[in-house]
């Protein structure tokens, strides 16, 4: 009879994966502070980031937070028990907001869910997939650079072919891009996917198809892959469910 995995071992591995995801999501300096988001746009990142699972928690403060404030925030976070219920915001968060609000108001609180995305995931779908690491992908980018992006991509906020963050792939219906997956974050050992499905194609499995294909991209071999979503984004969570992704923890950013 096959042995069931030890829950304790799985929980410990989840904490290890959360540490990889955090190191992939942010550029962390030698002091353990967040320098910025690890994205091509070099976004500033949250003033405070907290992630956790039943095996433990991770807390990071941005580099420009005053030292005494940072120490108070980290001391408060250190008292929080392991985050066991992703549906419940950690109890200490109100205290963190109070401390930050003494310097400047808190504008954004962003709870999220983090899933492990297996490498080489398979998903059956009728879409034609074009990946950036193929001749078809190179030809597609050349055409788009020459003709300009379709209006649907411009409406979604894409500005040009530079927004096809490598590695990337798209799912097509006919000649129209239905969904795109790209490396929202990529580091030495981890990578986080970004997925956008255009309005007319949502709810039809295109996001799941392009996510699965992205996980097989050659450049991602040897990387731990992550699928993150806002806790309020039910459609994104349905994609995770479609693919059978395993949640490894929850997060919250304070800006």
Please enumerate, as own/partner, the contacts of 11-15 that have beta carbons within 8 Å and a separation of 24 or more: 11/53, 11/54, 11/55, 12/55, 14/53, 14/54, 14/55, 14/248, 14/249, 15/53, 15/55, 15/56, 15/58, 15/249
Taking residues 101-106, report their average pLDDT. Answer: 90
Tokens 């995770």 locate to 240
Q: Which tokens hold the place of 30?
A: 């030698």
pLDDT at 70: 97
104-149 confidence digits (pLDDT tens): 899 999 999 999 999 999 999 999 999 999 999 999 999 999 999 9
Is the pLDDT at 79 greater than 90? The verdict is yes
Q: Which tokens hold the place of 109?
A: 């609180």
Instruction: Share the mean pLDDT of the chain.
Output: 95
Of the pLDDT bands very low, low, confident and very high (cuts 50, 70, 90), residue 1 is: very low
pLDDT at 8: 57
Of the pLDDT bands very low, low, confident and very high (cuts 50, 70, 90), residue 6 is: low
Is the pLDDT at 2 greater than 70? The verdict is no
Is the pLDDT at 4 greater than 90? The verdict is no
Of the pLDDT bands very low, low, confident and very high (cuts 50, 70, 90), residue 12 is: confident
Cα torsion through 129, 112, 254, 78, rounded to 10: -130
Is the pLDDT at 192 greater than 70? The verdict is yes
Taking residues 218-234, report their average pLDDT. Answer: 96
- Listed by start position, the domains of the chain span 7-116, 128-222
Kindly report the CA angle at 223 between 221 and 228, in degrees rounded to 5?
A: 125
The count of residues in the chain is 255
């Amino acid at each position: 009879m096959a042995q069931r995995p030890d829950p304790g071992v799985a929980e410990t591995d989840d904490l290890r994966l959360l540490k990889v995801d955090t190191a992939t999501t942010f550029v962390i300096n030698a002091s353990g502070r967040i320098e910025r988001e690890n994205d091509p746009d070099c976004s500033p990142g949250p003033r405070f980031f907290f992630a956790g699972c039943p095996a433990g928690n991770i807390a990071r403060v941005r580099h420009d937070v005053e030292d005494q404030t940072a120490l108070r925030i980290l001391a408060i976070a250190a008292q929080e028990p392991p985050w066991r219920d992703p549906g419940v915001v950690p109890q200490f968060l109100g205290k963190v907001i109070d401390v930050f609000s003494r310097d400047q108001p808190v504008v954004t609180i962003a709870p999220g869910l983090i899933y492990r995305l297996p490498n080489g995931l398979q998903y059956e779908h009728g879409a034609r997939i074009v990946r950036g690491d193929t001749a078809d992908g190179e030809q597609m980018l050349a055409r788009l650079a020459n003709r300009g992006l379709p209006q649907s991509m411009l409406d979604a906020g894409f500005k040009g072919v530079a927004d096809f963050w490598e590695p990337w792939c798209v799912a097509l219906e006919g000649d129209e891009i239905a969904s795109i997956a790209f490396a929202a974050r990529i580091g030495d050992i981890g990578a986080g996917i970004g997925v956008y499905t255009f309005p007319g194609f949502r709810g039809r499995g295109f996001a799941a198809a392009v996510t699965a294909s992205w996980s097989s991209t050659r450049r991602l071999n040897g990387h731990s892959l992550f699928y993150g979503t806002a806790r309020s984004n039910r459609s994104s969570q349905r994609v995770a469910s479609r693919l059978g992704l395993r949640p490894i923890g929850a997060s919250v950013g304070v800006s």
